[in-house]
Amino acid sequence: MDSHINPIKMMIVDHQNIVRAGLKKLVESAPDIEVVAQSDSGEEAINLYKAEPVDIVLMEINMPGMGGFVATQRLLRLNPALSVLLISMYQNPDLAAKALKIGAKGFICKCCSPDELLHAIRMVKQGRTFLDAETAQALAIHSATGKADTPIDVLTPREFEVFVLLAQGLPVKEIYPKLYLSPKTVNVHRANILDKLHAKNAAELARIAIRHHIIEA
């Protein structure tokens, strides 16, 4: 790497080792990007960021545990100016809309070209929003037609965190210490989530989360 270049410091978060290795090799082929941290979970990514802040986090959405959306929210609480680029195997405008709603700088599909990924990284580093052309068009149509929000969009950020953990099958007694909340507060959120999503139990929440590609089956 050219010593005269001040590289973009980046963290890659993906639960698949081979995917992380491929992404690292790809982005470091560019002289202006350096991968300084890698993680296979949202939980670890937060701890790594606290130890060594980076300019950009490339965050997989569909991961076991906390998941990319919740991890992004937690990172942005630590640093609202952090640039997070969410990546998914699904080219889904609902996921892109959610990504932007929670404060991510962009959304990109793993089906993108190498050049497009590098372009996206550089754009979000500049504080600009990145969406690929197909997703941007789908979101524009969504807005123009007045299509209703997906069920996920009706949740507050904190409710969304609780929702993901409930959908993954965690009981309340395991959720409240993870989110630094009281059991009573988690139960209130749980009741609100079930009501807003018209669900009867955690199994139905899991089906909703899978349908919207928030968690994997």
Among 85, 30, 27, 29, smallest CA distance to 55 is for 85
153-154-159 Cα angle (round to 5): 95
174 and 78 in a common domain: no
Is residue 117 one of the residues assigned to a domain? Answer: yes
Query: Looking at the structure, do residues 197 and 132 belong to the same domain, yes or no?
Result: no
The whole-number pLDDT of residue 5 equals 65
Q: Residues 44, 133: one domain?
A: yes
Q: Note the pLDDT of residue 144.
A: 57
Domain boundary among 145, 168, 192: 145
Task: Give the C-alpha distances (Å, rounded to integers) separating 41 from 12, 16, 60.
Answer: 10, 10, 9
- Identify the helix (H) or strand (E) that includes residue 78: helix 68-78
Structural domain for 184, as ranges: 151-211
| Of 41, 37, 51, 35, residue with least CA distance to 16 | 41
DSSP-derived letter for residue 16 is: -
Q: How confident is the model at residue 142, as a pLDDT? A: 62
- Give the mean pLDDT per block of 10 residues along the chain (217 residues): 73 96 95 96 96 96 85 95 93 85 93 94 94 80 60 80 91 90 94 95 92 75
pLDDT at 36: 97
- In whole angstroms, give the CA distance from residue 144 to residue 15: 36
pLDDT number for residue 209: 86
Give the pLDDT of residue 183: 94
> How much is the pTM?
0.79
